[in-house]
Amino acid sequence: MLINKLLLISILLFSSNNYSQYRSDFIIADSASRPFFDFDYNGNIHMVWQNGQKSDRSIQYSSLDYEGNFIYQPRKISNTIHAADPKLAINKDLVACVWEDKVALDLTIFSTFIKGKILKNGQDFSDEVQIDDGHGDAYRGGPEIIWHSDSALYAVWSGDGSLSPTEYSDIYMHKLLFPPFQKAYPYDEVINNPFVKVVEGLPKVVKQSSGQGYFVIWIEKDSISVLKIAGVNCDNNLLPFSPKVDLVNFDSVKYFMGEPAVFKLNNGNIILAWAKDTLNFAYSNIYLQEFTEQGIPVSEVKKVNDTYASEYSDVTADIDSAGNFVIAWEVWPDLFAQRYSADMNKMGENFKVNSLQSDGNSFHCTKLKNGSIYTTWSRLDGGRISVWMNILDFNNPTLIGEDNIFSPLRYSLSQNYPNPFNPTTTISWQSPIDNLVTLRVFDVLGCEVITLVNKFISAGTHSIEFDGTNLPNGIYFYRIKIGNYIETRKLILQK
């Protein structure tokens, strides 16, 4: 009997099949929203998001490998529980995070601050710093951060700070030094002209290909609510040295618009992608255009979408080293994308990014790495919001069956979340075909604790909750079998 149990433990530990890195939808964090991520020089993923619980809106951080498996389990990195809209930038093994931090959850108080910190190897490598100058009762939001060098960074945001006319917002920035992580000077700087009474927001920063200077873009709304996308050339101190350039002008009154995307081509030019509403204001189209680093257009405006996008769709995009790129947007309740070759020609048709149906998917972030399209987003389902991710093959991003339902690209068993857990945790898996699924939990002696699943289940991504209320603390293993596919993972119950 002892030999049989030891044999079972060996099978549990080593019976994982090798499959490709591509994965259909899998959960990153429950009760979470507004994810953002990027890759480090080792190809690992660093991700931040906003916790979605009403009593805790803190900023969370985690790191995953290129297959989407957790390296560092999710943890809180903000000091307060009323933060939002996190972003990050990576330099070697350092991760700079920035976010909007509210004064209070009381909605009658609208003041916000811009805060941030540096992480290394999943741990805090600096104290949390208030980046803005803290002037008065001011709203600040939409932060971005960029490494200027190994010892300096720039943070930009929009808001009605110390240099803004009443009821108008501007684009602010602050230089940061490292180490230690601190402000270079006490007061904020304004990138746009603060004396022109327009509203600016959603800034983006692109470093010039020469390595000297930057191009900053933002959304601008004039006194009659006509929107445009504008930009300005900045020097190495991120201060403007030339007049503002209007990149995209909207020919209709529009009160809101989604976040545009900007990225640099291999030839040094930039691509700008955005959503523009249709005549009935209920839908929008997605467009792209190529500009020089000085904001001069060098191509015609090109339509990206095949069918209408959501009215206020955010647009995200990324480019790989070969010059291929992908643009993603919202077609409520789903996410869609389009691939492009290095010569800016479409590759195939628009494709649906998410495979699972839900009440809505938004606040997405898309990256292109090593021939794979990585996307993470906020998923709303049954009144509950969570952060999900998938990894698609750039050359073949969809597998469409006769029923026109996306088929997962591989078998996989996800790491349970949360882990460690108390007393419940969620286990997710995916299968490309309908099959008999068994999912069992074992203790460290190889004794079966419970059978969670033992039935025929359709293809797709599925999840189940495991409740350890009646079990002692310790290490357990969960093992799935789908046909010839077998995989085992470890979970930790910690009461």
| Pairing, β 123-124 against β 460-467 | unpaired
* Cross-strand partners of 421: 493
Integer CA distances (angstroms), 167 to 112, 139, 164, 223, in order = 15, 10, 8, 11
pLDDT exceeds 80 at position 309: yes
Helix (H/G/I), strand (E/B), else coil: 495: coil
Residues 6 or more apart whose CB falls under 8 angstroms from that of 187 comprise 133, 162
Instruction: State the pLDDT confidence band at 376, using cuts at 50, 70 and 90.
Output: very high
Tally of helices (H runs) and strands (E runs) in the chain: 1, 38
Pick the range with the lowest mean pLDDT from 2-11, 33-42, 340-349, 395-404: 2-11
pLDDT exceeds 50 at position 400: no
In CATH, the number for domain 21-393 is: 2.120.10.10
Residue 85 confidence (pLDDT): 93
Residue 467 confidence (pLDDT): 95
Least Cα distance to 432 among 456, 409, 398 occurs for 409
CA dist., res. 262 & res. 230, Å (int): 12
* Cross-strand partners of 400: 406
* Cross-strand partners of 158: 141, 171
Q: 7: part of which helix (H) or strand (E)?
A: helix 2-14
In which residue ranges of the chain is CATH 2.120.10.10 found?
Answer: 21-393
Q: pTM of the prediction?
A: 0.78
pLDDT exceeds 50 at position 407: no
Q: Is the dihedral of CA 35, 335, 395, 340 positive or negative?
A: negative
Helix (H/G/I), strand (E/B), else coil: 2: helix
Residue 162 confidence (pLDDT): 56
**Cβ 493 vs Cβ 476: under 8 Å:** yes
Structure tokens at 40: 């480090």
CA dist., res. 208 & res. 233, Å (int): 9
**CATH 2.60.40.1930 assigned to 412-493:** yes
Render pLDDT for 240-279 as a digit per residue (tens, 0 to 9): 998 889 998 876 555 556 788 999 998 999 999 998 877 6
pLDDT exceeds 60 at position 3: no
Residues 6 or more apart whose CB falls under 8 angstroms from that of 400 comprise 406, 407
CA dist., res. 286 & res. 451, Å (int): 48
Residue found under tokens 């857990």: 421
Half-sphere exposure of 79 (CA within 13 A, CB side): 11
Instruction: State the pLDDT confidence band at 136, using cuts at 50, 70 and 90.
Output: low
pLDDT (mean) for 311-320: 90
Omega before 86 within 30 of 0, i.e. cis: no
First to last CA, the chain: 31
pLDDT exceeds 90 at position 18: no
CA dist., res. 198 & res. 205, Å (int): 20
Render pLDDT for 63-102 as a digit per residue (tens, 0 to 9): 999 888 888 889 999 998 889 999 999 999 999 999 999 8
DSSP 445: T
DSSP 417: B
CA dist., res. 475 & res. 272, Å (int): 50
In which residue ranges of the chain is CATH 2.60.40.1930 found?
Answer: 412-493
What residue type is 331 in one-letter code? V
| Angle in degrees, CA 219, 221, 224, rounded to 5 | 165
Integer CA distances (angstroms), 316 to 123, 254, 360, 418, in order = 28, 21, 17, 28
Residue 399 confidence (pLDDT): 47
Render pLDDT for 226-236 as a digit per residue (tens, 0 to 9): 788 999 999 99
Structure tokens at 264: 């640099």
CA dist., res. 287 & res. 260, Å (int): 10
Residues 120/98/144/277 CA torsion (nearest 10 deg): 120
DSSP 48: E
**Cβ 131 vs Cβ 98: under 8 Å:** yes
Residues 6 or more apart whose CB falls under 8 angstroms from that of 168 comprise 160, 197, 198, 199
**Cβ 27 vs Cβ 46: under 8 Å:** no
DSSP 298: -
